[in-house]
Structure 1
Amino acid sequence: MQPVVRSGEPALSAEAGALGVVRAALLEQSGLVRAVASGRRRRFDPPAYQRVEVRYVDLKGQRHLQITEFDERQAHTRNVAGAQPDFAGAGAGVAGGEIEKAVDELLGLAYGSWHVETTSETLRLRYTKKGKELLHRQEDSREQETGHDRVKQRVLDPAAPFLIELGISDHLGRVKPSRQAKYKQIEEFCKLLAPALDEAIAAGRIATDRPLQVVDLGCGNAYLTLAAYHLLSAAGHDVRMTGIDHNPAARKRNARVVEALGWQDHLRFVDATIQAAELDVRPDVVLALHACDTATDDALARAVGWEAPLVLAAPCCHHDIQKQLKSVTPPAPYALMTRYGIVRERFADVLTDSLRAAVLRQVGYRVEVVQFVDSQHTPRNLLLRAARTGTKPTAELQAEYDALVTEWQVNPRLAQLLLLEPPPAGVGL
């Protein structure tokens, strides 16, 4: 019998097994919000796709199970037809037939973790190195919608004490109107953090027999630092969190908040620049939210130097490449892309993050570039999600990168830090 672990409770026995619990949630078409499978189980052949996302959508008056499978380069989406939806909300019931067959096929693949969000709870299933099932169940009383146009769910309760201490929520646990954008940014960042961590653990890149080491580089006022600590601790992880920033006023303020929350034993702040930060142990996860311009490159380089298994970075401004493009002759026939300032600026954003992803792939990381929040909350809404695999770069990858930087005559900061010479680890081992 495999253990089922609820937040704050000892291990319980699952009558139908952990995978059976996940299966029931996937088939509940009126309750499933989203499910993500990733990683792979040890001693099993890897699935054909790196990750799969599942949810229900209504298309032409009929409910479908939408399955999106991701490989190294793109997403492949297919829709499996099911029952007629109950638009009156009177219980659409459990899916059957072709949908049930599709779900069973997905569960039969050797994914190492499942992250399932429903209208009532969040399930996190992962497999240990020995093949043991571990299922965490967190009840969720927050309102969620399962409509196909928009999926709304909250992983950060607005009434969480840390949000009140930070001044994002008021004393009644409601997000302040002036802080909605900041709340949305950190919440959407955390939505991508949780399944990415599950995948890294399932793949054996992060050990579970010791505390989880997380570092937030350029943490500033520590919104993400505190949110990540809250989220991961609630999921059952024994977290050791470090926020790094070279701002004495912010550090003192952050320390006061941590003490008020009683988290000072597991969460600390270090006064240092990103380049000069020293750690006692290697981090498992490195975060960076809106580190300005080349500070994002510094954060990525430090993560690589530490050989961090998982890195999530949301870049901010991209002035470095923008300036370089002003003084180069664009390759034909792309002169129009740099003629106008606003177009050049946006193109520089895309070029910068594309080059960052290419550099990370050359030093042994699998990289995804995704939108983590709608542009109405911040125009800087791309996220680089990188998982260390140790894979050597192919000749094709190196040739593509060399051709791109040569044609555009740019010298990316991250390439200077990582490809010219290895960065220092900065870990006292």
Structure 2
Amino acid sequence: MPQPLDTALSEVRELVLGPTLTRAVAAGRRRGPAPSVTRAELRPVTLKAGRRLQLVTDDGTRPYTRNLAVDEAAAAIDALLAEPFGNWHVETETATVQIRITKKGDAQVHRSGAPAAREPRLPGDRDPARPLDHDRAKQWLLDPGDPLFGVIGGNAAKRRQVDAFLRALAATLPEELPSPLRVVDLGCGNAYLTFAAYRYLTDRGANVRVVGVDVREDQRVRNSAVAEQLGCADTVRFVAGTIEDAVVDEAPDLVLALHACDTATDQALARAVRWNARWVLAAPCCHHDIATQLKGHPAPRPYAEITRNAILRERFADVLTDSLRSSLLRLNGYKVDVVEFVDSQHTPRNLLLRARHTGATATDAQRDEYETLTAQWGVTPALEKLLS
């Protein structure tokens, strides 16, 4: 049952300023004016100067951290509670309280027991028995103690990859998201990034609907079981099928294609274009198709040396493939950035094509550039065939 908003926010204030707080997050927005920041996170810390309440706010471009003394905390909390956030999530040592503000301005409140047990501690991690003992806590977009890591495994390398991916996602999406936000992950595999995207976007207050697609039925069964375990099976579902033919009920706003092998990335990009997806994030994997075409075609002068040796030909094929993919996306109305989304020490396949649909009409110069590039190197990208 809904309850008065003032009553719910009073409970939040009491919990945040109380002695058992572990974490609180404010995100999302209500109907009407937007909050002055997109997200605020609070947690108690112990510094050399003593106990503080750490407040991290994010304006959509960068986080800003303040460590509040006891006499400053109450005023800061009152200011946050006055902001028109759409959601509050508060964890204490004994309970979790989640509040969603309805369109009518009431509060839907859900209370449960203490959060799930944290993941096993790794070398260099802080001791969970001493949660306040640090001077500089790393700001993760998804808390390393999130129940997700307890299910998928949470070693340090995986946490860094998840965080890097979420930062790329955050940089792609606007502050105000559609409701519902429909997401499709094509070639989702074991889906740990699928679930990470869902958890992060939900933390932002988005009403998220996710479909993960993988060709293997056993992956569908396994991922569906994980969704049940995480309590999100009603909003995160999985289907077995090919990237080209899997049945998705509604066209998505956001398409993910993370490490789909070779031309599977092209299939995902083509389907995103046909859906007119508003945003696309694709991390290509191997690039055999263009490499094979280069092997069977003489390089234009004076570039024969680039493709003479197999290892250089393969590396050049990576660059050429993703350049042509970017060009084709631009020709189909997308603004495209190519970025490194995780350090190469974690994976050599660390490029991300980040595309936003603008609907801009391709220029003659863009078409000529693409046609000249493919003609000179004697290649026909798989994405071109799929789009035609």
Pairwise same-fold verdict (TM > 0.5): yes
What is the CA distance between 1:183 and its match in structure 2?
3.1
Q: Confirm whether residue 219 of structure 1 aligns to residue 188 of structure 2.
A: yes
What is the CA distance between 1:293 and its match in structure 2?
0.4
Give the counterpart of 1:196 among 165, 169, 172: 172
What residue in structure 2 maps to residue 416 of structure 1?
Answer: 385
Deviation sequence 1:340-374 (CA, Å, 0-9, x none): 11111111000000000000000110100000011
Q: What TM-score does the superposition give when structure 2 sets the normalisation length? A: 0.68
1-structure distance, mates of 2:317, 2:136: 37
What is the CA distance between 1:260 and its match in structure 2?
1.0
What residue in structure 1 maps to residue 64 of structure 2?
Answer: 118
Answer whether contact 2:162 2:193 (CA < 8 A) is retained.
Answer: yes
Q: How does 1:8-407 map to 2 (within 5 A)?
A: 18-19=35-36, 114-119=60-65, 153-166=139-152, 168-169=153-154, 175=155, 180-198=156-174, 201=176, 207=178, 210-407=179-376
What is the CA distance between 1:197 and its match in structure 2?
1.4
SS in 1 for 2:380: coil
Answer whether contact 2:27 2:86 (CA < 8 A) is retained.
Answer: no
What is the CA distance between 1:160 and its match in structure 2?
1.0
Distance change (3 Å), C-alpha of 1:164 and 1:10 = closer
Q: Which amino acid aligns with 2:209?
A: R
SS in 2 for 1:391: coil
2-structure distance, mates of 1:226, 1:10: 19
Distance change (3 Å), C-alpha of 1:373 and 1:138 = farther
SS in 2 for 1:385: strand
2-structure distance, mates of 1:145, 1:265: 37
Q: Which amino acid aligns with 1:186?
A: V
- Across the aligned residues of Structure 1 and Structure 2, the Cα RMSD in angstroms comes to 3.3
1-structure distance, mates of 2:221, 2:135: 37
Distance change (3 Å), C-alpha of 1:144 and 1:382 = farther
1-structure distance, mates of 2:368, 2:270: 22
1-structure distance, mates of 2:225, 2:142: 21
Task: Please identify the structure whose Cα radius of gyration is greater.
Answer: 2
Gaps in structure 1 of 5+ consecutive residues: 23-88, 91-112, 122-131, 147-151, 170-174, 421-429
2-structure distance, mates of 1:325, 1:155: 41
2-structure distance, mates of 1:263, 1:376: 33
2-structure distance, mates of 1:301, 1:348: 20
2-structure distance, mates of 1:374, 1:307: 31
1-structure distance, mates of 2:28, 2:185: 30
Q: Which amino acid aligns with 1:118?
A: Y
2-structure distance, mates of 1:191, 1:9: 16
What residue in structure 2 maps to residue 68 of structure 1?
Answer: none
What residue in structure 2 maps to residue 172 of structure 1?
Answer: none
Aligned length: 293
Answer whether contact 1:138 1:235 (CA < 8 A) is retained.
Answer: no
What is the CA distance between 1:195 and its match in structure 2?
2.9
2-structure distance, mates of 1:274, 1:226: 19
Answer whether contact 1:156 1:227 (CA < 8 A) is retained.
Answer: yes
Deviation sequence 1:207-237 (CA, Å, 0-9, x none): 3xx3111111100101111000000001100
Q: What TM-score does the superposition give when structure 1 sets the normalisation length? A: 0.62
Identity between Structure 1 and Structure 2 (%): 50
What is the CA distance between 1:162 and its match in structure 2?
1.1
SS in 2 for 1:313: strand
1-structure distance, mates of 2:231, 2:187: 23
What is the CA distance between 1:277 and its match in structure 2?
1.6
What is the CA distance between 1:198 and its match in structure 2?
1.8
Answer whether contact 1:18 1:135 (CA < 8 A) is retained.
Answer: no
Gaps in structure 2 of 5+ consecutive residues: 1-8, 13-23, 39-47, 50-58, 68-82, 92-130
What residue in structure 2 maps to residue 102 of structure 1?
Answer: none
What is the CA distance between 1:255 and its match in structure 2?
1.2
Distance change (3 Å), C-alpha of 1:345 and 1:144 = farther
SS in 1 for 2:370: helix
What is the CA distance between 1:155 and its match in structure 2?
1.3
What is the CA distance between 1:116 and its match in structure 2?
2.9
Deviation sequence 1:174-208 (CA, Å, 0-9, x none): x2xxxx43332232111111231126x4xxxx63x
1-structure distance, mates of 2:90, 2:325: 38
2-structure distance, mates of 1:249, 1:153: 35
1-structure distance, mates of 2:136, 2:379: 45
2-structure distance, mates of 1:327, 1:272: 33
Distance change (3 Å), C-alpha of 1:221 and 1:416 = same
Distance change (3 Å), C-alpha of 1:137 and 1:386 = farther
What is the CA distance between 1:329 and its match in structure 2?
0.7
Q: Which amino acid aligns with 1:283?
A: P
SS in 2 for 1:323: helix
What is the CA distance between 1:144 and its match in structure 2?
9.3
